[in-house]
Amino acid sequence: MEGQPMGKIWHVGLAVPDLERGKAEIGELFGLTWRPVVVRSMTIKDAEGRARGVDVRVTFSLGSPFAVELWQEIPGTPLATPEAGWFHHLGYWADDYAAERQRLSDLGHPPFLSSDPTLLISRGPGNLLVEPCDLGRDQPYLRDLYPADSAYFGPPVLPTENGPPVLPARTPAAEERQ
């Protein structure tokens, strides 16, 4: 992905006060459909390093290569809806996650939100929040959003409400890698 910096941006994160309403309104506006909502339980740290356990209800739009991430805001945390509106951050792929975390630090972009070892959202220029996403970490729910040349690119593994994950049909690109 070197030489293609804009190709690394793969999602926009939005913190919404009501997840179902947000899905309906953003979906209608952009013609999006959504993956099943999942709950991610994690311990997050804010910019001051204060830790807090949270259960985040989150979904991503279906389709690729660009996605919209929506989550139910958690007031009083870095996952709250920003004062200026729903826009929260831009997510981009990082080939070397540890090096990218260090690069952001070296550039003077401090952590805004973190959950070690896999989540970092830093405050960049103009207060823009940016999330480097590790290309070396498999996220089955999001496999279709990985770059086509990634080892993890393929059909997403989607959860269902009452059963095991749904495995969509394999794509030709995924079949070639097996």
**What pLDDT is stored for residue 128 in this prediction?**
95
Strands 111-115, 119-123: pairing kind: antiparallel
Q: 89: which strand partners?
A: 13
Residue 82's nearest CA partner among 70, 92, 91, 73 is 73
**What pLDDT is stored for residue 147 in this prediction?**
93
**What pLDDT is stored for residue 64 in this prediction?**
77
Distance separating alpha carbons of residues 41 and 168, to the nearest angstrom:
25
In sequence order, what are the residues at sequence separation of 6 or more whose Cβ sits closer than 8 angstroms to the Cβ of residue 88? 13, 14, 15, 81, 82, 129
Q: What residue spans of the chain are helical by DSSP H? A: 19-30, 97-106, 172-177
* Burial (CB count within 10 angstroms: exposed 0-12, middle 13-18, buried 19+), residue 69: buried
Question: What letter does residue 23 receive in the DSSP assignment?
Answer: H
Instruction: Walk along the chain (178 residues) and give the pLDDT tens digit of each residue.
Output: 444 555 699 999 999 999 999 999 999 999 999 999 999 999 999 999 999 999 999 999 998 789 999 999 999 999 999 999 999 999 999 999 999 999 999 999 999 999 988 899 999 999 999 999 999 999 999 999 999 999 999 999 998 766 555 444 333 333 443 3
**What pLDDT is stored for residue 175 in this prediction?**
40
Residue keyed to tokens 């209800």: 57
**What pLDDT is stored for residue 165 in this prediction?**
54
Q: Specify the pTM.
A: 0.86
**What pLDDT is stored for residue 63 in this prediction?**
87
Distance separating alpha carbons of residues 128 and 122, to the nearest angstrom:
8
